[in-house]
A and B are shown apart, each in its own frame.
Chain A
Amino acid sequence: MITAASDFFQRQARVRPLEIAFWLATLLPFVVAPAYLSLASQIAITALFALSLDLILGYTGIVSLGHAAYFGCGAYAAGLLARHYTAEPLIGLVAAAIAAGLLGYATSHIIVRFRHLALIMLTLGLGLLVHEAANSASALTGGTDGLQGVKMAALFGFKFDLYGRTAYAYSLAVLFLVFLVARRVIHSPFGLALRGIRENALRMPAIGAPSLAHLRKVYTIAAVMAGVAGALLTQTTSTVSLEVLSFGRSADVLVILILGGAGRLYGGIVGAIIYMVARDQVSGMNPQYWYFWIGLLLVAVVMFLPNGILGGLSALHKKSQ
């Protein structure tokens, strides 16, 4: 029986027509821009990475400057597995998820005990640690040269080709499935607890909530998602470069999420589309000034749209009603 009180929660979790339209539109590149499928695949991967950050930042309030550690961990796990054991992409995906999840769970024990500036510095420090560890373990990771020529087996009979058809279909499908999981998490009791932590972490113990356990759990879930995104990058580009673990990647995904709008599931996806398309266009004309425009956009968004582009749009939509 649905009562009036639970109706509210029902409505919150409802699938909106705009969402269906959005996901149908993600199929358009196959028809409209077949030359850009590789870019579309990169966008889907970045969107997945940003979605993972959204769970901890947007919904739980954990600001991280080292999220690339889990992305890179997944990327290397998938690369090493393909090189030494099996080229089966789905097995690689699972292995990467487990590897990144283990790293996430291990580091979560430190991360969740800190807040504010200390937390940001910790995530930054851990990110740098993992980056340098991968750099110095060059026998395994190839160091600054990275792993080249990671060959993948065909996926359900479809080969990974130069045009990126399989790559985009694969990345998009994984993004969609992980998105469904994230959506489910957000609309669960656990999702409500995460928002409680974000809104007032100190109050949570006073309602009997084991905040640290909640935090460890969401951090591990986010690490798994980031690892899956990293594995997709390895598998669709056939290489792993040390850059997957770089500070730049951690910073970029943060910028992407803030641009799109944190704490609204689609923010990371919208941010990734804008960021990656803009980079592709602008850096074609003027590669060295790329970050100038991103800086300008970031300043403008943070000043005028504190809830990101999606937040601005939804405020506009509410006003018009």
Chain B
Amino acid sequence: MLSTKNLNKTFGSLVVAQDIALELPQGVRYALIGPNGAGKTTLINLLTGMLRPDSGQIFLGGSEITSLKPEARVRHGLARTFQINALFPQLSALESVTLAVLERERHAHNWWRRLASFTPAIDEAYAILASLRLGNVAHRATRELAYGQQRLLEIALALATRPRVLLLDEPAAGVPKDESAELFAVIAGLSRELTVLFIEHDMDVVFRFASRIIVMVGGRILVEGTPDEVGRDARVREVYLGKAGHARAA
């Protein structure tokens, strides 16, 4: 569904992506792991067009998207969330998600019809919020939502674009451990047609929710494989100083 060929990116002398070749089939739950500074967020920025690669190609569903702008990639079905909440503080949750639906349906340029008359879009936005257990706070201003609810709203905004591939940059960042399990239960419950790639540091979560794991180190992909394969890999154990092995035992 999403694939890359020889993706390269450097910031000055710092290599942040080197020869990245990915192949994410439909419906697979990928975890992207690696130590800090491995280039995980950079990879998401490259995939979504927030950064331009120095060389290489990106394909989505068979067509090349390397030169498309971020908003055009979203329209092709590539959505992301952010590690630090990037929301619309004074808009309500419903307004935010409705906006995303309207943009998808290309109604957001309409400056003459009443917003209230776009009931299908508003109902769909409400349904997305309800499916993420945000129905009862749909009318609250985003800045008044609890932190964990804001993390869910991040996902709701991405889902409203009706993605084929969803990239989640540390979806549970800053969420207490017990709540993070709940959050990943929501992610696990997403449609099986959706390809999901998430960055996560908690190895318990990674081994529980990922069907495949990509390990990045120093801008390169070190290993790609099933949780079993990755857990057994000696190079991965070395990078994680035995953390991965410990997580598997737990």
What residues make up the interface of A, taking CB atoms closer than 8 Å to B?
Answer: 1-3, 5-6, 8-10, 12-13, 184-185, 187-193, 195-196, 199-200, 202-211, 213-214, 217, 221
- The one of A3, A8, A188, A204 in contact with B114, judged by C-beta atoms closer than 8 angstroms, is A188
A199–B161 Cα distance when bound, in Å, is 19
Interface residues of B in 108-131 (CB under 8 A from A): 108-119, 122-123, 125-126
Chain A positions within 8 Å of B91 at CB level: 192, 195-196, 199
Which of B86, B88, B102, B160 makes the CB contact (< 8 A) with A189?
B102
CA distance A214 to B122 in the complex (A): 21
Closest to A208 in B: B74
Decide: A2 and B119 in contact? CB cutoff 8 A: yes
Residues of the A chain whose Cβ atoms lie less than 8 Å from the Cβ of B123: 3, 5-6
**Given the complex, which residues of B lie within 8 Å of A184, measured CB to CB?**
111-112, 114
Does B96 reach chain A (CB closer than 8 Å)?
Answer: yes
Are the CB atoms of B119 and A3 closer together than 8 Å?
A: yes
Q: Is B71 an interface residue (CB 8 A)?
A: yes
Question: Which secondary structure dominates where chain A touches chain B?
Answer: helix
Set of chain B residues within 8 Å of A209, measured between Cβ atoms: 71, 99, 103, 108
Q: Are A200 and B99 in contact, with the CB atoms below 8 A?
A: no
**Could you jot down 20 A-B contacts, CB within 8 Å?**
A2-B119, A5-B119, A8-B92, A13-B114, A13-B116, A184-B112, A189-B109, A189-B111, A199-B89, A203-B157, A205-B50, A205-B69, A205-B71, A206-B74, A206-B86, A207-B100, A207-B157, A207-B160, A209-B99, A209-B108
Contact between A213 and B114, CB atoms less than 8 A apart = no
Is there an interface contact between A207 and B86, defined as CB atoms closer than 8 Å? no
Which chain B residues have a beta carbon within 8 Å of chain A's beta carbons? 48, 50, 69-71, 74-75, 79-80, 82, 86-92, 94-96, 98-100, 102-104, 107-119, 122-123, 125-126, 138-139, 157-158, 160-161
Min distance, Cβ A56 to any Cβ of chain B, angstroms? 14
B70 touches A206 (CB 8 A): yes
Measured CB to CB, the closest approach of chain A to B115, in angstroms, equals: 5
